């Protein structure tokens, strides 16, 4: 056994010596390679530690050989140590090989950047080659260095900071460009640093992009930086505009690859979005979106499976989901997915808030629904309007036609006169109805306008009293007028306001069988410029039901009680009255009780006149005899109207020359004609055109011309006067009005 151990010891010694010989050769190769590496600073440890191990084990082998009888344990230790040193040197050689390869690649990168150095100058504001380790600018090119002479990078950076705009460039962003910041970035494995900064250059703010390439110099191991500044104003502005538009338009713009997402742009107002800018889409849905859904059934709409399925069939997929806020407010979000490739593994998501748009749509739908109901209501009202109008027109027409037929069958003059009086009454009612319909039409179309004029309220009240006194007497009613006005002279549309008072008093007259109708006028308050008046019309008639009082101002509304059903009326008077009062910025009120009577109250504020009008209490009597012997040219295309007018004129002793249109009127006009009466709307040549031709170059251009027309509105009268017509008298012909205007015209008073 001892012999075997002895042989084993000898074998281990000889093998160990052989391994140590190999170790020595490998060590010298290692020393040679490590000396060529400049980037390793503490080479002593790597050199001397393996060397000491070699010396130690060599001495051990020498001692064992000198003894001539090696111990098994000692031999084993020496053999194991030889193996350890061998493995160590092999490992160190492997590490050195990788370092050399890395240095080779670094040198290649360094050489490439160095080769591009000159090219960078052409498209840059400045280029600097900086030794960060020693804080020294090796080489520099650019206009900025013409005014800066310091050769240290720290000094250059301080100079650059003077042009930075602080409100845009944060302290953290500026720290990245410092010498220490660049070295730290390199040590953390970042070879590139890029920053966009806003600087003040040439007076104006300007965006620039600073790119820094950081490398280690192969020969010295110093950390070097190539710094390039380029103009970035257009790109920065475009990027800022794009981000602003996206932030305003969308809550989120995200990019998806398979089930992973990355948020590219997010709106600051979208507080429900995660702070984390990337992650798993399913987790995003389950942790952020699903808990906020107002309806859990909407989960399916934005599930990854649903989105993938839809995008396989179409290039895009859109859906709307409803989210609940912290205070139970509701938000409508539109999710728009767009495929970026055919496999649908990549797609974009645009999330927009359409809450306001949804609310506007809901409001619009409500308005459309309301408009539809109003349209249906208007259609019904229109149908009712024509039905009522047909009834109200046919009633007086039936009376007119009926009494005409009866007049033909009787020879009794008294009965005929009675029939004619009833025909006259029905005709006036029909004319009143037509006027009311036309007035209502103008009110509804917004064409009714006021024509204020200087007038006296005393005169208006007196004329109203004179107009109704006889009618009240005939019906056995007392007509009471109370006038408590201190400032009677005002600016007022006299004709329109007369219409208001006439309608109200006529209403009281119709619906009162016994008792009285009272007109009370009281001045409530006044200052230097205006006064407020209260006009009250009180009757002791049949009154109104509470139901009818709420709709008395509706078109064609009339009381349907037994006491009122036989009273003639158009159902338009009160609607017209209310519209005129409101147009005058007044207020119309009603106090009524069925069976006891009604009171209408008009409160209105009117401008006061700064002078006193002379009140005329007498009327000049028209001398109709002045018309006898006048030669009148009557221009009228309607044969019936022509015949009626001719008979009326001849009945007053006038001579009439007839013409059927404006051109014939021009041909028949000569110096023997004293006055022209003309219709307006005629074939060949209208009354306007005929008058203009007469006034322009006709020998009788000064002849008085009066229009007989059914166009009785303010703008029609103004148009007639502008054409040269002296006055307008409306159809049906009012004899008193026509004859008074003819007399005024021949005396050149109009």
CATH number at residue 348: 3.30.450
| pLDDT given for residue 662 in this prediction | 93
Note whether residue 614 is domain-resident: no
DSSP 613: P
**What is the mean pLDDT for each group of 10 consecutive residues in the chain (750 residues)?**
64 70 70 61 58 67 58 64 72 71 66 64 77 85 68 79 62 71 86 79 73 80 84 69 66 79 76 75 82 85 86 87 82 87 74 87 89 80 67 75 86 87 80 72 71 89 87 91 92 88 89 93 92 95 85 66 47 82 92 91 92 48 81 92 90 93 93 93 91 92 90 77 90 85 88
Which regions of 271-430 does DSSP assign to beta strands (E)? Answer: 278-280, 316-324, 330-339, 346-353
Helix (H) or strand (E) holding 84: helix 72-115
Tell me the C-alpha to C-alpha distance, in Å, between residue 261 and each of 236, 256, 273.
25, 4, 13
User: Cβ–Cβ contacts within 10 Å for residue 476, how many?
Assistant: 9
| pLDDT given for residue 663 in this prediction | 93
| pLDDT given for residue 120 in this prediction | 63
Is residue 331 domain-shared with residue 435, that is, in the same domain?
Answer: no
Residue among 734, 648, 723 at smallest CA distance from 687: 723
Note whether residue 617 is domain-resident: no
Share of the chain above pLDDT 90, in %: 20
| pLDDT given for residue 105 in this prediction | 66
Residue 545: which domain range? 449-607
Q: Say how far apart CA 244 and CA 265 lie, in whole Å.
A: 9
Beta bridge partners of 282: none
pTM above 0.75, yes or no: no
| pLDDT given for residue 617 in this prediction | 41
User: What are the tens digits of pLDDT across the range 68-122?
Assistant: 555 656 666 666 767 766 777 677 777 767 766 666 666 666 666 666 665 666 6
Q: Please, what sign has the CA dihedral across residues 407, 410, 411, 417?
A: negative
Query: How many domains would you assign to the chain?
Result: 6
The answer to whether the beta carbons of residues 734 and 710 sit under 8 Å apart is no
Note whether residue 612 is domain-resident: no
Is residue 347 domain-shared with residue 365, that is, in the same domain?
Answer: no
| pLDDT given for residue 119 in this prediction | 64
State the SS3 of 206-246.
Answer: EEEEEEEEEEECCCCCCEEEEEEEEECHHHHHHHHHHHHHH
**Chain Cα centroid distance, residue 328:** 27
| pLDDT given for residue 40 in this prediction | 56
Tell me: cis bond preceding 732? Omega within 30 of 0 counts. yes
Is residue 103 domain-shared with residue 197, that is, in the same domain?
Answer: no
Beta bridge partners of 335: 319, 351
Is residue 518 domain-shared with residue 540, that is, in the same domain?
Answer: yes
| pLDDT given for residue 604 in this prediction | 95
Is residue 538 domain-shared with residue 577, that is, in the same domain?
Answer: yes
Is residue 597 domain-shared with residue 485, that is, in the same domain?
Answer: yes
| pLDDT given for residue 600 in this prediction | 94
| pLDDT given for residue 249 in this prediction | 73
Note whether residue 615 is domain-resident: no
Note whether residue 271 is domain-resident: yes
The answer to whether the beta carbons of residues 183 and 132 sit under 8 Å apart is yes
Sorted by sequence, the CB contacts under 8 Å of residue 727 that are 6+ apart come out as 706, 707, 741, 744, 745, 750
Beta bridge partners of 324: 330
Beta bridge partners of 348: 255, 338
Range 296-302 contact pairs with CB under 8 angstroms and sequence separation of 24 or more: 298/322, 301/335, 302/335
The answer to whether the beta carbons of residues 507 and 600 sit under 8 Å apart is yes
The answer to whether the beta carbons of residues 89 and 27 sit under 8 Å apart is yes
| pLDDT given for residue 242 in this prediction | 63
Reduced to 3 states (helix: H, G, I; strand: E, B; else coil), residue 261 is strand
Scan for tokens 């051109």, then name that residue: 663
User: What are the tens digits of pLDDT across the range 697-735?
Assistant: 899 999 999 998 876 667 788 888 999 999 998 888 888
**Residue finishing a domain among 58, 86, 112:** 112
Is residue 728 domain-shared with residue 678, that is, in the same domain?
Answer: yes
- Burial class of residue 145, CB neighbours in 10 A (0-12, 13-18, 19+): middle
Is residue 594 domain-shared with residue 511, that is, in the same domain?
Answer: yes
**Residue finishing a domain among 54, 82, 112:** 112
Reduced to 3 states (helix: H, G, I; strand: E, B; else coil), residue 316 is strand
Helices (H) and strands (E) in the chain, counts: 21, 23
Is residue 11 domain-shared with residue 101, that is, in the same domain?
Answer: yes
User: Cβ–Cβ contacts within 10 Å for residue 134, how many?
Assistant: 14
Is residue 515 domain-shared with residue 566, that is, in the same domain?
Answer: yes
Q: Say how far apart CA 605 and CA 597 lie, in whole Å.
A: 27
Note whether residue 616 is domain-resident: no
């Amino acid at each position: 056994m001892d012999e075997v151990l002895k042989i084993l010891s000898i074998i281990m010694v000889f093998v160990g010596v052989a391994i140590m010989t190999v170790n020595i050769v490998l060590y010298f190769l290692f020393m040679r390679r490590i000396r060529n590496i400049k980037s390793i600073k503490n080479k002593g440890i790597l050199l001397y530690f393996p060397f000491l191990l070699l010396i130690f084990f060599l001495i051990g082998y020498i001692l064992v050989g000198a003894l001539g009888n090696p111990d098994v344990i000692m031999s084993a230790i020496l053999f194991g140590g030889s193996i350890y040193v061998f493995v160590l040197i092999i490992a160190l050689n492997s590490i050195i090989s990788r370092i050399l390869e890395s240095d080779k690649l670094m040198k290649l990168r360094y050489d490439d950047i160095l080769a591009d150095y000159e090219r960078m100058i052409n498209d840059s504001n400045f280029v600097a080659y900086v030794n960060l380790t020693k804080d020294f600018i090796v080489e520099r090119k650019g206009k900025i260095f013409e005014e800066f002479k310091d050769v240290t990078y720290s000094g250059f950076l301080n100079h650059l900071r003077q042009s930075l705009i602080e409100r845009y460039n944060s302290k953290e962003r500026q720290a990245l460009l410092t010498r220490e910041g660049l070295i730290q970035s390199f040590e953390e494995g970042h070879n590139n640093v890029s920053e966009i900064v806003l600087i003040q250059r040439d007076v104006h703010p300007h965006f620039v992009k600073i790119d820094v390439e950081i490398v280690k110099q192969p020969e010295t191991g110093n950390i070097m930086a190539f710094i390039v500044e380029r103009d970035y104003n257009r790109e920065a502005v475009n990027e800022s505009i794009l981000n602003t538009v996206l932030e305003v338009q969308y809550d989120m713009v995200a990019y998806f690859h398979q089930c992973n997402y990355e948020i590219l742009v997010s709106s600051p107002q979208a507080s429900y979005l995660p702070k984390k800018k990337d992650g798993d889409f399913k987790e995003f849905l389950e942790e952020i979106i699903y808990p906020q859904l107002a309806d859990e059934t909407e989960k399916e709409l934005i599930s990854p499976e649903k989105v993938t399925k839809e995008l396989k069939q179409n290039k895009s997929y859109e859906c709307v989901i409803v989210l609940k806020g912290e205070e139970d407010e509701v938000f409508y979000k539109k999710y728009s997915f767009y495929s970026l490739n055919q496999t649908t593994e990549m797609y974009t998501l645009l999330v927009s808030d359409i809450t306001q748009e949804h609310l506007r749509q809901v409001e619009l739908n409500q308005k459309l629904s309301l408009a539809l109901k109003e349209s249906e209501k208007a259609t019904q009202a229109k149908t009712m309007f024509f039905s009522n109008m047909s009834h109200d027109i046919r009633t007086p027409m039936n009376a007119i036609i009926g009494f005409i037929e009866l007049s033909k069958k009787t020879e009794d003059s008294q009965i005929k006169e009675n029939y004619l009086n009833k025909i006259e009454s029905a005709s006036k009612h029909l004319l009143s109805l037509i006027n009311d319909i036309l007035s209502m039409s103008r009110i509804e179309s917004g064409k009714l306008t006021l024509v204020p004029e200087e007038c006296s309220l005393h005169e208006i009240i007196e004329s109203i009293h004179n107009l109704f006194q006889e009618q009240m007497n005939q019906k056995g009613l007392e007509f009471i007028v109370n006038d408590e006005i201190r400032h009677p002279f005002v600016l007022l549309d006299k004709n329109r306001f007369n219409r208001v008072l006439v309608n109200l008093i006529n209403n009281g007259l119709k619906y009162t069988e016994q008792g009285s109708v009272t007109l009370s006028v009281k001045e409530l308050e006044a200052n230097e410029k205006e006064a407020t008046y209260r006009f009250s019309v009180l009757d002791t008639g049949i009154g109104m039901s509470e139901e009818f009082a709420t709709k008395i101002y509706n078109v064609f509304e009339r009381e349907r009680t037994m006491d009122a059903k036989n009273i003639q009326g158009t159902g338009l008077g009160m609607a017209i009255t209310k519209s005129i009062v409101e147009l005058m910025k007044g207020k119309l009120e009603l106090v009524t009780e069925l069976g006891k009577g009604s009171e209408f109250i008009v409160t209105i504020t009117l401008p006061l006149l700064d002078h006193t009008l002379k009140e005329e209490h007498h009327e000049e009597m028209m001398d109709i005899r002045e018309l006898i012997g006048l030669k009148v040219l009557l221009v009228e295309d309607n044969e019936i109207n022509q015949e009626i007018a001719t008979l009326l004129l001849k009945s007053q002793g006038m001579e009439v020359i007839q013409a059927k249109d404006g051109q014939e009127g021009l041909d028949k006009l000569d110096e023997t004609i004293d006055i022209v009466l003309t219709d307006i709307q005629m074939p060949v040549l209208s009354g306007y055109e005929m008058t203009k031709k007469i006034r322009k170059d006709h020998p009788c251009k000064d002849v008085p011309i009066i229009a007989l027309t059914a166009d009785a509105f303010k703008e029609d009268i103004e148009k007639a006067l502008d054409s040269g017509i002296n006055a307008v008298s409306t159809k049906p012909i009012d004899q008193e009005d026509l004859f008074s205007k003819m007399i005024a015209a021949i005396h050149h008073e109009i």
